[in-house]
Every structure is written in C-alpha cells, then in structure tokens.
Amino acid sequence: DAKTTQPPSMDCAEGRAANLPCNHSTISGNEYVYWYRQIHSQGPQYIIHGLKNNETNEMASLIITEDRKSSTLILPHATLRDTAVYYCIVRSRDNYGQNFVFGPGTRLSVLP
C-alpha cells in the first residue's frame, strides 16, 4: 500500500508556481521521498527525490519538512505541458525497485 497522501486534484495558472503537497507521516529514517509525474497514457517520468534536505534540479524543487512527515514539490513557473498526474512515493534505500508503490497521485491542471 502507498504510504503517502496527496490531494486528488489541483489547478494552477500558467506561469505561476505550482505547489503540490504530500503527507508521509509514517516515513522512517531510511526512506527517501520520490516524485514522478505521468502525462496522459505515457510512462511515469522521474522528477526529483530527497532524504531530508531540500533538493532542486532543472525540473523542480523539493521541500521536506524538518520532521520529514510531509513534503512539497514546487514547479516554479508552471506551463501547460506540466499538466499531468504527480505521484509522491516513499521508498527505503535498503529495498529494491519493487518498493516503488504508486498511489492515485494528484492530477495537476495548468490553466491558461
């Protein structure tokens, strides 16, 4: 079962920052937070992941709270092409890929 809770849907205006929340209150010390997104009928695409420090790459920023019980994915300037389902996943670094468990995610709609 997925160990995360995300809102089912969100809207964001084009050009504005999209902030997608994720709750993972049962996360353990050796579990990473991963974010993927899936554009309609395509395979999920890796976005970013982190353990406890905030992370940034060319796609997004990941903010993890100090107690690690929640995180936020930030798309700084959302475009129409960012419309997708966004998945937040927690996964132990000690286990193999079978522990990438996908929940229902958040459907982000970027509006013109």
Partner 1 sequence: ETGVTQTPRHLVMGMTNKKSLKCEQHLGHNAMYWYKQSAKKPLELMFVYSLEERVENNSVPSRFSPECPNSSHLFLHLHTLQPEDSALYLCASSQVGRMNEKLFFGSGTQLSVL
Say how far residue 89 (Cα) sits from the centre of its chain: 7
Site membership for partner 1, residue 42 (CB under 8 A)? yes
Which window, 21-29, 61-69, 75-83, 98-106, contacts partner 1 (CB under 8 A)? 98-106
Range list of H helices, the chain: none
Q: Which residues contact 101 (CB under 8 A, 6 or more apart)?
A: 1, 2, 3, 89, 91
**By CB under 8 A, which span of 11-19, 61-69, 76-84, 99-107 interacts with partner 1?**
99-107
d(CA 106, CA 104): 7
Residue matched to tokens 């940034």: 56
CA distance 40 to 54: 28
- 42 vs 112 by CB, closer to partner 1: 42
Give the shortest CB-102-to-partner 1 separation in angstroms. Answer: 4
Contact window for partner 1 (CB under 8 A) among 6-14, 61-69, 76-84, 93-101: 93-101
Residues that bind partner 1 (CB under 8 A): 2, 34, 36, 41-46, 49, 93, 96-98, 100-105
